[in-house]
Structure 1
């Protein structure tokens, strides 16, 4: 696992340079969702693929930017699914973005996840790596230094509601509004990584991306986004659900399959499950 952790650190340093210097215009290519890719998305994908190609313990990788998984080393045992630059469309307005990594053993799937990691590229470059504990690291003077272990409180006070409101179910809107009526503060940038990072570092709250009228199975991908953050939040003492069951109990049919998802402290997730149980 150390070799993977070190490889992710190298990718983060290189991606930081790419963000600072690379043309962020659109390419002529589309990703797995049919979205036109930014030049920077492609560059970051290539950086991660190259670094992982040197790690003998990695058997297979899967990128959010590629349609199919890619074999690496036959003798390796780890399978890594990653989103090279989540929220890359925010770069042209200078908001924080991030990279997400789900680390699986022997095969992709929530039951096989052994670690997860994300990197936030903002005013500072920070990395959160979850294995047996959820740990924060800060890039300083060219190296990542351990800062602290992250633990969530039983209840937070931040509310980060994703998805277009006109496509929400009425009961979901009522749920979101109920947290605001309790005094929760809105924190939503449109970037999954910085928003979930803020909730972690501020002690808790709720990040929600429900199934909607236009995307009933949710928008966020299980292997690249949903499972990694579910793992991170649970290791940090929080919870993660699709509204009905623990996200880490879900199966997946393909590497790009999506799910509704809610991440937060125990109090908020209990409220989510209570509301969704009444509206199955």
Structure 2
């Protein structure tokens, strides 16, 4: 596992350099969801693929930017599902973006996730890693080396509210829930980037990030293997919760297809329990 994390560190430095120097325009290709790809998406995907080609314990790669599974090493143990540059459309306005990695052993389902990691590319490069039976670990890059900062723990209750999706497409239940949090004094923190928003909630001690099922995307927008499950693991390891709109732990998801999506809610215990009450779930 250490070899994989060390490889992610090298990837992070290269992607950060690409963000700072490469063309920010669109390529002439689409990803598997039919979305136009930015040149940065393609470049970042290439950087990840090239880096893991030399890591023998990695059996295969599954990218948010490509269809199917890329086999690497028959003797490998792990499959890495990754989003090479989440929120890439924010790069041209100089907002933080990130990379997400889910490390699976065996069949690609949540219970087989053994570790996850994400990188934030902002004013500084930051890395957070999580493994079983340990709190997530926070690192910051300095002169190309990642220095350990601290373990991450969520408080029982936070102050931040990051509601995703277009409001006109929310259900009445969800809108009432979000408005209720603001009435309690919660602060809006939503950049349109999953990685920086979830990172902020983790580092600031708590709150909630929600991306519900909406009228235009009833199954949610965020992809299970690349985005939802890796962060669900992070939040549970930090002492929080991560659930679907039906109250199911996201760490129980079994994707039928590599690019399946799910409504998702990540937060500290107070906010998730309040969400369950609003949605009529068992607390």
Fold match, TM over 0.5? Answer: yes
| Structure 1 residue matching 2:12: 3-state secondary structure | helix
Give the ranges of 4+ consecutive aligned residues of structure 1 lying more than 3 Å apart after TM superposition.
Answer: none
Does 2:168 align with 1:166?
Answer: yes
Counterparts in 2 of 1:278 and 1:119: CA distance versus 1, 3 Å: closer
Distance 2:42 2:146 in 1: 25
The 1:152–1:46 alpha-carbon spacing in structure 2 relative to 1, beyond 3 Å, is: same
1:60 equivalent to 2:60? Answer yes
Q: CA deviation at 1:271?
A: 1.1
Q: What do you get for the CA RMSD once the two structures are aligned?
A: 1.0
**Structure 1, gaps ≥5 residues long:** none
CA distance in 2, matches of 1:271, 1:71: 43
Residues 35-59 of structure 1: per-residue CA shift (max 9 Å, x gap) = 1101110000000000011100001
**Which digits, 9 at most, give the CA deviation of each residue in 1:147-190, with x for residues without a partner?**
00000000001000000000000010000000000000000000
Contact 1:78 1:107 in 2 (8 A): no
* Separation (CA, whole Å) in 2 of partners of 1:45 and 1:181: 42
**Equivalent in the alignment of 1:217:** 219
Listed as ranges, the gaps of 5+ residues in structure 2 are: none
Shift of residue 105, structure 1, vs aligned partner: 0.8
- Residue in 2 that maps onto 1:185: 187
Structure-2 residue corresponding to 1:127: 127
Q: For residue 251 of structure 1, report the CA deviation from its aligned partner.
A: 1.1
Whether 2:274 is the aligned partner of 1:271: answer yes
* Residue in structure 2 matched with residue 138 of structure 1 by the alignment: 140
Q: Which residue of 1 aligns with 2:244?
A: 242
SS in 2 for 1:120: strand
Please state how far the C-alpha of 1:68 moved relative to its aligned partner. Answer: 1.1
Aligned counterpart in structure 2 of residue 204 of structure 1, from 206, 210, 228? 206
Q: CA deviation at 1:133?
A: 2.2
Q: What is the alpha-carbon distance in structure 1 between the residues aligned to residue 186 and residue 241 of structure 2?
A: 18
Q: CA deviation at 1:278?
A: 5.9
Query: How far apart in 1 are the matches of 2:163 and 2:102?
Result: 23
Match of 1:148 in 2: 150
Give 1:107 shift: 2.5
Q: State the distance in 1 between where 2:281 and 2:252 align.
A: 21
1:107 match: 107
Look up the match of 1:226. Answer: 228
- Name the residue aligned to 2:69: 69
Match of 2:87 in 1: 87
